[in-house]
Structure 1
């Protein structure tokens, strides 16, 4: 009870993204606050989500499912069940139970309410919201002039991406999302695929305009590695430039970067995928007036992944030191102590 009361007095955070990257960050943030609103892209058209989208006409549930699990207080067995993917069965193979659970709720209640009821079942800290309830498609214009339609097809292109757009272009955000942004202490973008997970949320006009009008800091958690088909050859400054190109100059106040070298074996494995570590580009970022937060953010895994606690600690320590004002001094001291204990 004490822990829940303490978390309920934590900073109000809005986190935008998709894929597995967003869920990694949420696992870290939920240790410090329950005032989290995760805003998730709904442009996915591949895998289990794509099949359910095509067969049932529902929004893709996969990224939503991952975020619900990441913010859950549920028992490990329940989490395991929701993430279980069927390996056999006609029509079942390839689907995850969590996706089917959301599909059943959607048929009964509609997608928005299905997500809310699933959050209750999983005892979620905070909220998980689709960025829009409209059936949107992600489209990319490549630098060779060609057009690719479909989120799952974009990373497989040969030419670099010039710009991505949503169809329809005037999709509307949920009212809860806009209210959360207006009431937030900080906005966090990423980590995740730049063009297919992060930027699609910012293409929704209501979301982009709400962020532009808010006065709170915006943090961008940059991927550790470049991504084939999306960000090959990109440095940190290139990531920010792409976000600004699709939104407005100055949207990012802080960029969160890993500066710890990956192992030789990891370098070799990622080289086979034409991926490399993202260069920091401090001078270019300085000219763009983007402040750099950097440190060892690596998880102790064979693949190159962010450590959830390290990212959360870096962002919230900066927020507490520079922006988290006007709050109860007790709340600030409790957060500071928890951040210190987690280091």
Structure 2
């Protein structure tokens, strides 16, 4: 644990809007945040840059950097700006292009992220899960192999497992060091198979997670996801994590208790997406501690985690488990 006056160290794994939402809440507290972000995205602007510049896809990294930035709102808005009219630039975000340019200048994607972090005055550290191009594959229950993160949800069949190529991927040394020093390690929220799992499919990261003495929390998704976790219960989310990690490692799962109908005017929520079923009997066999809180909100018509509520609970959890690292 840190000495008196030192910030607690939090490591968060994921990608997409889920991770960005979480760090927006956590950065308001005196904690040292390290976000380990998936680089398996191959769609949209990220996919085009992947092909044109031979760099890891910057989209998820960009979103987390924006969420952790401490700059004028106009600067963040510019970083996230997506071109809509130009033939060559249409679909690209300015932040993705800036990261691609910085990678060319520095010759290294992780170095580019580090330099852009200084420019954006990021409150924490953003680390790509890999500093190279990787491809995510999925084996579906019928044996079909799907290649490419953006293609996996399209098939609409249950996923047996996901894996990376190349198989030998080295993480950044900073990621392993962050796990060794962590006071809390968080997984999610986010797409289970295409955002969270790709970060721990890197062997050295997986080993460090399993060996890490810090408490580990899984923030369960609010809803199931078509093409990835359709009809998945909470325990099935956890089982997928364990199957890909090679063993149990979660200490606590945070579940939502908010009734989605209360988030809409006149209770107009009809679904889908469907709320994740809380199969408590099965879940409690897998995880020592299960916590339920009202942590859902409505943002632009979409059900999302309430970042302030989740962050507040995480801080309380850290305080209540202080000094209880595994030996």
Q: What band does the TM-score fall into relative to the shorter chain?
A: over 0.9
Aligned match for 1:267, one of 263, 266, 269: 269
Once structures 1 and 2 are overlaid, which stretch shifts more, 286-295 or 69-78?
286-295
Q: Is the 8 A contact 1:267 1:276 kept in 2?
A: no
CA shift at 1:248, angstroms?
A: 2.8
Question: Aligned with 1:267: secondary structure?
Answer: coil
CA shift at 1:216, angstroms?
A: 1.0
State the distance in 2 between where 1:214 and 1:113 align. Answer: 26
Q: Is the 8 A contact 1:266 1:304 kept in 2?
A: no
Question: Aligned with 2:292: secondary structure?
Answer: strand
Aligned match for 1:116, one of 106, 114, 123: 114
Partner of 1:338: none
> Mapping of 1:327-342 within 5 angstroms?
none
Partner of 1:198: 196
State the distance in 2 between where 1:50 and 1:221 align. Answer: 28
CA shift at 1:169, angstroms?
A: 1.2
Partner of 1:311: 310
State the distance in 2 between where 1:317 and 1:221 align. Answer: 15
Q: Is the 8 A contact 1:42 1:59 kept in 2?
A: yes
Q: Is the 8 A contact 2:156 2:226 kept in 1?
A: no
Question: Aligned with 1:305: secondary structure?
Answer: strand
Once structures 1 and 2 are overlaid, which stretch shifts more, 292-301 or 177-186?
292-301
> Could you report, residue by residue, the CA deviation over 1:105-154 in whole angstroms, capped at 9, with x for unpaired residues?
11101211110111011110110000111211000000001100000000
State the distance in 2 between where 1:194 and 1:252 align. Answer: 15
Partner of 2:93: 96
**Cα RMSD between the aligned structures?**
1.5
CA shift at 1:322, angstroms?
A: 1.8
Partner of 1:151: 149
> Mapping of 1:30-41 within 5 angstroms?
30-41=27-38
Q: Is the 8 A contact 2:140 2:160 kept in 1?
A: yes
> Could you report, residue by residue, the CA deviation over 1:167-197 in whole angstroms, capped at 9, with x for unpaired residues?
0112111100000000000100011000000
Q: Is the 8 A contact 2:79 2:93 kept in 1?
A: yes
State the distance in 1 between where 2:259 and 2:64 align. Answer: 28
State the distance in 1 between where 2:31 and 2:289 align. Answer: 27
CA shift at 1:289, angstroms?
A: 3.1
CA shift at 1:325, angstroms?
A: 6.5
Aligned match for 1:167, one of 165, 168, 176: 165
State the distance in 2 between where 1:160 and 1:257 align. Answer: 23
- The alignment's TM-score, normalised by the length of structure 1, stands at 0.89
Alignment of 1:292 onto 2:290? yes
CA shift at 1:34, angstroms?
A: 4.4
Q: Is the 8 A contact 1:185 1:324 kept in 2?
A: no
Q: Is the 8 A contact 1:34 1:125 kept in 2?
A: no
Partner of 1:233: 231
CA shift at 1:324, angstroms?
A: 4.8
More strand by share: 2
Q: Is the 8 A contact 2:69 2:123 kept in 1?
A: yes
State the distance in 1 between where 2:297 and 2:29 align. Answer: 19
Distance 1:214 1:142, change over 3 A: same
Partner of 2:186: 188
Once structures 1 and 2 are overlaid, which stretch shifts more, 92-101 or 256-265?
256-265
Partner of 2:77: 80
CA shift at 1:33, angstroms?
A: 2.8
Question: Aligned with 2:260: secondary structure?
Answer: coil
Q: Is the 8 A contact 1:285 1:291 kept in 2?
A: no
Q: Is the 8 A contact 2:16 2:195 kept in 1?
A: yes
Gaps of 5+ in 2: none
